[in-house]
Amino acid sequence: MDRCARRCRSPLGQAARSIYQLVAGSLSPDSVEDEFELCTVCHRPEGLEQLQEQTKFTRKELQVLYRGFKNECPSGMVNEENFKQIYSQFFPQGDSSTYATFLFNAFDTNHDGCVSFEDFVAGLSVILRGTIDDRLNWAFNLYDLNKDGCITKEEMLDIMKSIYDMMGKYTYPALREEAPREHVESFFQKMDRNKDGVVTIEEFIESCQKDENIMRSMQLFDNVI
Partner 1 sequence: MAAGVAAWLPFARAAAIGWMPVANCPMPLAPTDKNKRQDELIILNVSGRRFQTWRTTLERYPDTLLGSTEKEFFFNEDTKEYFFDRDPEVFRCVLNFYRTGKLHYPRYECISAYDDELAFYGILPEIIGDCCYEEYKDRKRENAERLMDDNDSENNQESMPSLSFRQTMWRAFENPHTSTLALVFYYVTGFFIAVSVITNVVETVPCGTVPGSKELPCGERYSVAFFCLDTACVMIFTVEYLLRLFAAPSRYRFIRSVMSIIDVVAIMPYYIGLVMTNNEDVSGAFVTLRVFRVFRIFKFSRHSQGLRILGYTLKSCASELGFLLFSLTMAIIIFATVMFYAEKGSSASKFTSIPASFWYTIVTMTTLGYGDMVPTIAGKIFGSICSLSGVLVIALPVPVIVSNFSRIYHQNQRADKRRAQKKARLARIRVAKTGSSNAYLHSKRNGLLNEALELTGTPEEEHMGKTTSLIESQHHHLLHCLEKTTGLSYLVDDPLLSVRTSIIKNHEFIDEQMFEQNCMESSMQNYPSTRSPSLSSHPGLTTTCCSRRSKKTTHLPNSNLPATRLRSMQELSTIHIQGSEQPSLTTSRSSLNLKADDGLRPNCKTSQITTAIISIPTPPALTPEGESRPPPASPGPNTNIPSIASNVVKVSAL
User: Among residue numbers 59 through 98, which ones bind partner 1 (CB under 8 A)?
Assistant: 60, 63-65, 67-69, 71-72, 86-87, 89-93
Least separation in angstroms between residue 36's CB and partner 1 is 27
User: Among residue numbers 157 through 196, which ones bind partner 1 (CB under 8 A)?
Assistant: 159-160, 163-164, 166-168, 170-176, 179, 182-183, 186-187, 190-191
Q: Interface mask (CB under 8 A) for partner 1, residues 11-30, using x and -?
A: xx------------------
Distance CA 207, CA 225 (A): 28
Q: Which residues pair with 114 in a beta bridge?
A: 79
Nearer to partner 1 by Cβ, of 43 and 101: the residue is 101
- Coil, strand or helix: which one is 94? coil
Neighbour tally for 39: CB within 10 Å: 18
Question: Which region, judged by CB under 8 A, interacts with partner 1, from 17-25, 26-34, 35-43, 152-160?
Answer: 152-160
- CA 138: distance to chain centroid? 14
- CA 200: distance to chain centroid? 23
Least separation in angstroms between residue 4's CB and partner 1 is 4
Beta carbons of 57 and 49 less than 8 angstroms apart: no
Least separation in angstroms between residue 175's CB and partner 1 is 6
At 115, give phi and psi (nearest 5°).
-110, 115
Question: Which region, judged by CB under 8 A, interacts with partner 1, from 20-28, 30-38, 40-48, 154-162?
Answer: 154-162
Least separation in angstroms between residue 27's CB and partner 1 is 18
Beta carbons of 113 and 80 less than 8 angstroms apart: yes
